[in-house]
Each structure stands twice: as structure tokens, then as C-alpha cells.
């Protein structure tokens, strides 16, 4: 994958988190991720600490289109739908073989300083869709 294709994927990826139309959001999820695609989210520190206290490790995971759609919809409903925030691409995407790295930010609707910044490492399947999405919240 070249960097132009990585930029296109990054733009489509960020757009799905802002998509208001439920049918379009479902179609975008299915176009972005493989049927068995997985989204792994680095848990917030408080979840990691609590899991360690009870002797387990914490991993936040959504697998398959139904769970991925639920994950994206939950983020949309919590952050975007109320009109407070939007997700934007933060910098340029980069590709290395079948992996795309992209950074995103959650900013106030209409612009402003980021409230959150994250990085995603997207492992692509041969058909160009995401098989594994590793998401890290940086700030």
C-alpha cells in the first residue's frame, strides 16, 4: 500500500466515527473491516489497575461487524451526536507493507485544541480491509 492509499483509508476511518446516518455507518464499518476484523483498545489506566487488583489483564476488544458497529456507534453517541466533539485526522497517515499508521484527534465541534489524541495501527487483509486495529490513546 502506498501513502496515498493510506491517506484515503485514514480519511474513511476517521469519517466512520463521525457518521450520523446509521445505515451509512453500518456500510462504512463493513467496508473498512473484514468480517472477523478486530478493534483492540488500550484500556484506560484505571481499568488496567483494577484488573491487576483482581489478578487479570484488561483488554478492550470488539470483534466482527456487529461488535465493531456497536463500538463505533457508542463513540458516536457519546462524543459526536451531542454536538460537542468531532474526530479529525491528526497528521499524515503512513503505510509499511500491510500496516497503516494513523493519528486522530477529538476536537471541539467546529475546531479547537484536541481533547484527546490517539494512534491506530491497522493491519490489513489481502483485500485491503482492516483485519486488526490496534488503538492507543496518547493524550
pLDDT of 97 reads: 95
Domain 3-137 is in which class?
alpha beta
**Residue 60: beta bridge partners?**
41
Q: Are strands 99-108 and 33-41 parallel, antiparallel or unpaired?
A: unpaired
Q: Are strands 130-137 and 99-108 parallel, antiparallel or unpaired?
A: unpaired
Instruction: Return d(Cα 87, Cα 83) in angstroms, integer.
Output: 12
Closest CA to 103 of 116, 86, 84: 116
pLDDT of 110 reads: 87
pLDDT in tens, the chain (139 residues): 888 899 999 999 999 999 999 999 999 999 999 999 999 988 777 777 787 888 877 778 999 999 999 999 999 999 999 999 999 999 999 999 999 999 999 999 988 999 999 999 999 999 999 999 999 988 7
Amino acid at each position: 500500500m502506498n501513502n496515498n492509499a493510506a491517506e484515503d483509508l485514514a480519511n474513511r476511518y476517521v469519517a466512520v466515527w463521525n457518521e450520523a446516518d446509521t445505515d451509512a455507518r453500518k456500510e462504512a464499518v463493513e467496508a473498512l473491516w473484514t468480517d472477523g476484523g478486530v478493534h483492540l483498545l488500550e484500556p484506560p489506566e484505571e481499568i488496567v489497575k483494577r484488573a491487576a487488583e483482581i489478578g487479570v489483564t484488561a483488554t478492550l476488544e470488539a470483534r466482527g461487524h456487529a461488535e465493531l458497529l456497536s463500538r463505533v456507534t457508542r463513540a458516536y453517541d457519546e462524543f459526536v451526536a451531542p454536538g460537542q466533539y468531532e474526530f479529525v485526522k491528526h497528521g499524515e497517515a503512513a503505510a509499511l507493507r500491510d500496516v497503516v499508521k494513523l493519528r486522530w484527534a477529538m476536537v471541539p465541534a467546529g475546531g479547537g485544541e484536541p481533547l484527546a489524541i490517539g494512534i491506530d495501527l491497522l493491519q490489513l487483509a489481502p483485500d485491503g480491509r482492516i483485519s486488526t486495529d490496534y488503538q492507543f490513546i496518547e493524550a
